[in-house]
Chains A and B, each alone.
Chain A
Amino acid sequence: MSDRHEPLRIEVDRDRCAGAGMCALTAPEVFDQDDEEGLVVLLRPDPPPEHRPTARMAAGLCPAGAITVGENGDAERAGP
Chain B
Amino acid sequence: MPYDPPDTDTTTVDSPTADTPTAGSTTTADNTTADTTTEITTTAAEEPPTLPTGRHTGCPFDPPAELTALSDRPLRRLRYADGHTGHLATGHAAARAILADPRFSSRYELLHMPVPVPGMPAELPPAPVGDITGLDAPEHTRYRRLLTGRFTVRRMRQLTERVERFTAECLDAMEQAGPTADLVEALAQPVPALMICELLGVPYADRDRFQSQVAVIFDQAADAEARGGAYAGLLQYLNELVLAKRAEPTDDLLSDLTASDLTDEELAGIGGLLLAAGLDTTANMLALGTFALLSNPDQLDALRADPGLAGQAVEELLRYLSVADPILRAALEDVEVEGETIRAGETVTVSVQAANRDPLRFPDPDRLDIHRKATGHLSFGHGAHQCLGQQLARVEMAVVFPALLARFPTLRLAVPPQEVPLRERSNIYGVISLPVTWDEA
Query: A19 touching B145 by the CB < 8 A rule?
Result: yes
Chain A 25-52, CB within 8 Å of chain B: the 1/0 string? 1101000111111110000000000000
CB contact under 8 A between A80 and B145, given known A15-B20, A38-B151, A57-B10: no
A residues touching B (Cβ–Cβ < 8 Å)? 1-2, 13, 15-16, 18-22, 24-26, 28, 32-39, 53-54, 56-57, 59-69, 77-80
Query: A25 touching B153 by the CB < 8 A rule?
Result: yes
Query: B148 touching A18 by the CB < 8 A rule?
Result: yes
Question: How many B residues are at the interface, by size bracket?
Answer: 35 or more
CA distance A35 to B42 in the complex (A): 50
CA distance A63 to B21 in the complex (A): 11
Binds A, one of B1-9, B117-125, B201-209, B336-344: B1-9
Cβ of A54: which chain B residues have Cβ within 8 Å of it? 1, 3
CA distance A33 to B12 in the complex (A): 22
Q: How far is the CB of B312 from chain A (nearest CB, A)?
A: 12
Contact of B384 among A18, A59, A67 (CB under 8 A): A18
Cβ of A28: which chain B residues have Cβ within 8 Å of it? 153
Q: How far is the CB of B406 from chain A (nearest CB, A)?
A: 24
CA distance A25 to B329 in the complex (A): 27
In addition to A21-B390, A56-B10, A64-B14, 13 A-B residue pairs with Cβ atoms within 8 Å of each other are A19-B152, A20-B387, A20-B390, A25-B394, A34-B152, A57-B5, A63-B14, A63-B381, A64-B386, A65-B17, A78-B16, A79-B15, A79-B31
- The CB with the most chain A CB atoms within 10 A, among B2, B5, B394, is that of B5
Query: A60 touching B387 by the CB < 8 A rule?
Result: no
Query: A65 touching B148 by the CB < 8 A rule?
Result: no
Query: A79 touching B29 by the CB < 8 A rule?
Result: yes
A-B interface, 10 closest residue pairs, ranked by CB to CB distance from nearest: A19-B148, A60-B10, A65-B18, A38-B148, A79-B16, A78-B12, A78-B15, A65-B14, A63-B386, A38-B149
Name the interface residues of B91-115: CB closer than 8 Å to any CB of A: 99-100
Cβ of B390: which chain A residues have Cβ within 8 Å of it? 20-21
B365 part of interface (Cβ distance < 8 Å)? no
Query: B386 touching A77 by the CB < 8 A rule?
Result: no
Cβ of B29: which chain A residues have Cβ within 8 Å of it? 79-80
Cβ of B14: which chain A residues have Cβ within 8 Å of it? 59-60, 62-65, 78
Query: B152 touching A33 by the CB < 8 A rule?
Result: yes
Query: A18 touching B20 by the CB < 8 A rule?
Result: no
